[in-house]
Structure 1
Amino acid sequence: MNRTALFVAAAITVSGLSSVARAQVLGEDAAACASGHGPAIEVNVIGLKDRSGRLKLELYPATEEDFLKDDHDLVREGKTFRRIWANTPPSGAVTMCIRVPAPGTYAVLFTHDRDGKNKFNFWSDGAGFVSNQRLGRSRPKLRQATINVSGNGITRVNIRAQYLRGLGGFGPLD
């Protein structure tokens, strides 16, 4: 490769990286991640089936008793619960931010509400957790969803969306 071609390739690479670094952070807590002042969790969502519907992040206490418990019960009991919604962007990287009340261990659930009905549709909607383990057919385990948030900064994680894949249950598309 000659010098000019090498320079052009490097410029394209740097240009591509800078656009990734400037990806818009979605959700009503976006300012917390954009400013770097947490504590907050920034989730890079990978593997969406399409760009329909809405995206949701939910924050739960990291206990077996409270994981995926009804949000009304958690709030009534004074326990941690937070939900962030964002419209699915038509293109580009998908990054969401959710504030946490303090450093500690939490459970995070991502869902892709493809039909926009605000109720999980087993047949079409997607879900994901920080472990990125294949979900299969069983109820997700707490260990698949836990994340440790240390300090008052931003904890970054990738979540791969998973959708129903026939008799094998939920899994990533690729």
Structure 2
Amino acid sequence: MKLPLTLLGAALLAASPAAAQSIGSDAAACNANQGPAIRVNVVGLKDRTGRLKLELYPANDDDFLKDDRDLRKEGKFFRRVWATMPQSGAVQLCIRAPSPGRYALLFTHDRDGRNKFNFMRDGAGFPGPAKLGRARPKLAQAIVTVPAGVTTTTVRAQYLRGLGGFAPLD
């Protein structure tokens, strides 16, 4: 039986692995390559439970990891996006930035879905390669430069690993 070319093309596309699509409330910006936005490839997840969160802060020591209510009260930028954990495949999130520039990016894996970071269960990560350990993360670990378009970065999830603090699973 001969298949029309359009059906054959569709069948081939369905059979080949698809490119990862961004998830989360800002996903459309990355999927359509409409920036400024950050496409975040998350690796090293402990499991496929709970929800995923990205937060974008001003790139300075005073505002990094500051409470979002305080940042907003002071008229400063802050953005948060949530995504449901996909059950399989690559995990790629997207977060929009207000304009091109430097920002600080935080990723968290809210494994129990309670929206409150649980040091014993939840994971965190930043674009920088450094192990988080036991100290408060440094701004330099979280910096991302966002162009007018979409930039891509990788975040390795880290979880509590005994007395040494947070570290990747591998």
TM-score (norm 1): 0.87
- What one-letter code is carried by the residue in structure 2 that aligns with 1:153? G
Aligned to 2:111: 114
Give the C-alpha shift of residue 76 in structure 1. Answer: 1.1
* SS of structure 2 residue aligned to 1:107: strand
- How far did 1:23 drift? 1.4
Runs of 4+ in 1 over 4 A off after TM superposition: none
Matched, 1:149 2:146: yes
The letter of the residue matching 1:168 is: G
Secondary structure of the residue that 2:102 maps to in structure 1? strand
| Separation (CA, whole Å) in 1 of partners of 2:20 and 2:63 | 33
Q: Does 2:122 correspond to 1:137?
A: no
1:103 aligned residue: 100
> Distance between the aligned counterparts of 2:95 and 2:113, measured in 1?
20
Choose between structure 1 and 2: higher helix proportion. 1
Q: Secondary structure at the match of 1:26?
A: coil
| Post-superposition CA distance 1:8-52 (Å, at most 9, x none) | xxxxxxx9xx625x2121111111001111000000000100000
User: Match of 2:17, SS?
Assistant: helix
Q: Which runs of 5+ in 2 are unaligned?
A: 1-12
TM alignment of 1:120-131, pairs within 5 A: 120-131=117-128
Cα distance in 2 between the residues matched to 1:30 and 1:54: 15
Distance 1:50 1:171 in 2: 15
Partner of 2:17: 19
1:81 to 78, 81, 92: 78
Distance 2:129 2:48 in 1: 20
Distance of 2:137 and 2:71 partners within structure 1:
19
Question: Distance in 2 between the 1:56 and 1:135 partners?
Answer: 18
Amino acid at match of 1:43: V
Give the secondary-structure state (helix, strand or coil) at the position aligned to 2:71.
helix
Secondary structure, counterpart of 1:60 in structure 2: strand
Partner SS for 2:47: coil
What does residue 49 of structure 2 align with? 52
Can you give the 5+ residue segments of structure 1 that lack an aligned partner in the other structure?
A: 1-14
Whether 1:65 aligns to 2:62 is: yes
Quick one: which amino acid aligns to residue 114 of structure 1?
R
Root-mean-square deviation over aligned CA pairs: 1.1
Q: Distance in 2 between matches of 1:130 and 1:51?
A: 21
**1:67-90 Cα distance to aligned partner (Å, 9 max, x none):** 000000111111110000001011
The answer for the alignment partner of 2:165 in structure 1 is: 169
Partner residue, 1:3? none
